[in-house]
Amino acid sequence: MSKQQKPVKLLRKASKIFLFISGILMIVSTVALYFYTKNLLQDEVEEELFSTEARIESSLKENNQAFSLPPVIEVVEILDLKTEFLKDTLIFDPSQNEDEVFRELSTFKIINGKNYRITVRNLVVESKDILIAIVISYFIIILLTLLFLFYFNVEGNRKLWIPFFENLEAMKVFSVKSENPIELVESNILEFQELSTEISILTNQVRDDYQNLKQFTEDVSHELQTPLAIMQAKIENIINTNAIDENQYLLFSSLQQDIQRLKQLNKRLILLTKIENNLFVNIAEIDISKRIEKTAFNFRELFNVDIIFDESQSLNVSMDPYLAEVLCNNLISNAVKHSSKQESILVACTQNSLIISNLGEEPIENPEKLFNRFYRESKSNQSTGLGLAIVKRICDLYEFKVDYQFQDSRHLFSIIFK
């Protein structure tokens, strides 16, 4: 499976494509111009050579006298005629004291009954300099044109996409908890305007759905608490005011436990919903070591369990105080529920971590599901299956790292604070 490419900004991506295509076109057009101009200049040189050769042939017919002007013109009588040809040749130029490149045309003619080889040469250095000058000039013009086009293209795209970027920023700060609709920028571009309309419709629908769901959750929670409390009170009244046998007492006690579990389940589901909707915004500096020590003391008194607390140093964390209390309670409660009273529970605080461990005969079968809702490794009725799920959501909210390991016959739950 290939790695996912890193996202690139829209304008940068468009600019890269523009530069890439423009660069290819500039190189291709420059090369094409070079060869076209080179062939054009060569054709002009050769046309001049043929024209000069024609004038020399005409002069020989009229004057019947061979003449030469080395190295430009050479007229020589020969025995056999050959096929005319064109070639480049190097000839030493005394005036420049160096070899120069000449384009050479050699023709073979019968003039006035005599065989002649007429050789005409033309200096091509000047044409080469002209070619280079033309190509460089063209390259500079195209480069400047490309830079101007790139600048105006980027600025034009930037202004063109302003409504899109502003609406994108509005979407980033949009919250379903807000009672006000999202404010979007209007645009005279049809597609952007259609996008804004659809975003407004969608966000309004999402906000309304969220508010309805939130209201429904609160109403259900409130309505459930009352009948559950009434049921529990009636059961207590029956137990206290009526003569019941042992089987009935056990039955009513079981009903009370189920009702209590339903109340806890309801409270924890509401808490999870509030955490996931980021409704806890009261941030304070919390000393986790003091909070977990207090929690450990309370559980030690309530359940008569041996909890050994090791405070290496204080551990301060920025988070909601209520969620800090819930975090400590759920971690200690989980260890207590899965330990016998004869086993020691170890609690340790370091510079940036909290570790809680309890004895265990074997590791958890599905550790990847440990922090899922309603997952219970054991079938104990004491657990709602939400305690560790709440711990995980609190850690996700504040970007803490929660981890489980099984070492030396102990279950270790650790939280690494950033």
- pTM exceeds cut of 0.75: no
Which DSSP helix (H) or strand (E) runs through 179?
Answer: none
Residues paired with 77 in a beta bridge:
116
**Which of the listed residues 276, 311, 345 is the one where a domain comes to its end?**
276
Closest CA to 286 of 325, 242, 339, 234: 325
In this predicted structure, the answer to whether residue 380 has a pLDDT above a threshold of 60 is no
Residue 184 lies in a domain: no
Same domain, residue pair 106 and 239: no
Q: Are residues 64 and 89 in the same domain?
A: yes
97 and 44 share one domain = yes
What does the pLDDT look like over 272-328, one tens digit per residue? 777 777 777 788 898 888 888 888 888 888 888 888 888 667 888 898 888 989 899
- Of 293, 279, 236, residue with least CA distance to 260: 236
Residue 5 DSSP code:
P
Q: Does residue 149 share a domain with residue 251?
A: no
pLDDT tens digits along 179-190? 778 888 888 888
Residues 211 and 303 in one domain: no
- Count of alpha carbons within 13 angstroms of residue 38, beta-carbon side: 9
CATH number at residue 199: 1.10.287
Are 147 and 54 found together in one domain? Answer: yes
In a domain, 335, yes or no: yes
Beta bridge partners of 311: 349
Domain that holds residue 391: 284-416
Contact 307, 267 (CB under 8 A): no
Cα 137 from Cα 133, distance rounded (Å) = 6
Domain-terminating residue out of 156, 179, 200: 156
Task: Identify the band that residue 1 occupies on the pLDDT scale cut at 50, 70 and 90.
Answer: very low
Q: Is residue 53 part of a domain?
A: yes
Domain boundary among the residues 276, 305, 331 is at 276
Same structural domain for residues 296 and 401? Answer: yes
The answer to the question of residue 185 being in a domain is no
148 and 204 in a single domain? The answer is no
Report the domain count for the chain.
3
The proportion of the chain whose per-residue pLDDT surpasses 70, expressed as a percent, equals 93
DSSP 373: T
Whether residue 329 is found in the same domain as residue 218: no
Contacts of 408 (CB under 8 A, 6+ apart): none
Q: Are residues 130 and 32 in the same domain?
A: yes
Same domain, 301 and 357: yes
Instruction: Tell whether 171 is covered by a domain.
Output: no
Is the model more confident about 341 or about 394? 394
For the stretch 9-46, pLDDT in tens is 777 777 788 888 888 888 888 888 888 888 887 888 88
